[in-house]
Chain A
Amino acid sequence: MTYLDEFRNPKLAKGLVKRITKLSSRNMKLLTGGGGVSGVAYRSGLVNMLPKEVKIIQGPGCPRSTTPIKLMDHAIAISDLPDTVVAIHGGFATIPSSSKSLDAKRAEGSDIRTANSCQEALNIAIGNPEKKIVFVALGYEITASTVASTVIEAQRKEVENFYVLSGHLIFTSTFRALLEGKENPFDGLLLPGPVSTVIGSRAYDFIAEKYKLPCVIAGKEICDIALSIYMLLKQIEEGKPRVEIQYTSCVKEEGNLKARQILNEVFEVCDSSLRGFGAVPKSGLKLRQKYEQFDAERACKVKVETKEPKGCICGEVLRGVSTPSDCPLFGTTCNPSWTIGPCMDNPQGVCTLAYHSHSSTGLLGRFSKLRG
């Protein structure tokens, strides 16, 4: 069992698609929680094997897209401080801020280094005691738990030059914000597996209970996603919305209790904002007082100026009320080579995927159509 190949079986995937086609009696909009699920659906070609009644709409799950622009502005401001290294996951260095990305700042001479994990950032700090190392911590509880573990280690090792700029978000807050906004034309939710391994399926119960939306927590491979879509359609047919786990090999109702306990030891819930939704109560994670010596906001006093780029409608696209082609910047000023908004910066962002699907054959044209 490799947990990969078996779930990529083309025969199985095609068979599941056939069953999905039999179940799809009317137009259905299935929202995904971020780029993981829709990325696989797109890359594998599953998206255009599905019957046209079943539309996969990419939701606001991916932290690259939902991280508030202010966080990146903060990181940019910190990068101007003397004897300070900003460490960030390689793939996040291009996330646009109000002015420029960290990638562009590095080209101007700021000391910005790649740290593909918080642990790597801690190692940079240990190896460079004369500098302040600030790790830009993005992502949901899955990544936050790894950061929490590293902060505990930093305290144990008495590292004094290591800091965390927390942009961590509570994953379910994106759905709370989306569904409370009454913009809810969706028939079901395909939730991502990895973050759910930590937070557990019970975290989503409120979606089924309060908003009567069927939910399935999907694995990462094509057969997982196909089965999850099937399970969702079944729920829709039965009219009994609930939270089901398709990714049973590693998602439990209670999640990963050990990880959650470590997360809770280091972080506490706070108010934050989500790109596209504005201020959302109880949507963020900040370091507890016990670990405040690692808090970059406290240690690095900087002025942060934030403004949304003109014309960018990432917010509406993330909420699913506009499509990429509705955006005046899409494909022109904002394109994969030069991104204005996070939806295009993200390689699995809804605008990136739509950009690559635009062709004269209309190959994947219906990928992100919401209206009609």
Chain B
Amino acid sequence: MCVAVPAMVTDIKGEIATVDFGGGTTREVNIKLVDIKVGEYVLVHAGFAIATMDEKAAKDTLELMEKIV
């Protein structure tokens, strides 16, 4: 499915992390497919974290957009 949503890791217990999507929505996800630390952001798909999100890269992309515009 195309549903892949960013969320922040707030707690890790073994293979399972609690992630926060913001606005009080949380769930548990399996983190076996990524290497992650509390406080970092992941992309969540089908109950798993499938990618880590690079904050600097995101900020650079926004800067690029501002520059183009």
Contact = CB atoms under 8 A, between A and B. Distances in A.
Do A and B contact each other directly (Cβ–Cβ < 8 Å)? yes
Interface of A: 1-4, 6-7, 11-12, 15-16, 18-19, 34-36, 39, 62-63, 89, 91, 116-120, 139, 142-143, 145-146, 149, 192-194, 197-198, 219-220, 223-224, 227, 230, 246, 248-251, 256, 258-259, 262, 348
B50 A220 contact: no
A18 B59 CA distance: 22
A314 B63 CA distance: 41
A146 B68 CA distance: 37
B48 A146 contact: yes
A120 B68 CA distance: 44
B33 interface: yes
A194 B41 contact: no
Given A149-B30, A250-B43, 10 more contacts: A3-B41, A7-B62, A19-B68, A63-B1, A143-B1, A149-B48, A194-B50, A197-B4, A248-B58, A249-B58
Interface in B23-56: 30, 32-35, 41, 43, 45-48, 50-55
A143 B64 CA distance: 31
B69 to A, nearest CB: 3
B50 A197 contact: yes
Given A62-B2, A91-B1, A227-B68, A248 B61 contact: yes
In this complex, the member of A1, A7, A15, A36 whose beta carbon has the largest number of chain B beta carbons within 10 angstroms is A1
A256 B54 CA distance: 13
Interface of B: 1-2, 4, 6, 22, 30, 32-35, 41, 43, 45-48, 50-55, 57-62, 64-66, 68-69
A198 B46 contact: no
Contacts of A63: 1
B2 A256 contact: no
Contact of A117 (B2, B6, B46): B46
B2 A1 contact: no
Contacts of B53: 3, 249-250
Q: Find the residue from B1, B4, B41, B68 having the highest chain A CB count within 10 A.
A: B1
Rank and list the top 7 A-B pairs by shortest CB-CB distance, nearest first.
Answer: A15-B69, A36-B2, A117-B47, A197-B51, A194-B4, A249-B58, A3-B6
Contact of A198 (B1, B50, B68): B50
A262 B54 contact: no
A249 B65 contact: no
A258 to B, nearest CB: 6
B26 to A, nearest CB: 15
Contacts of B2: 34-36, 39, 62, 192, 194, 220, 348
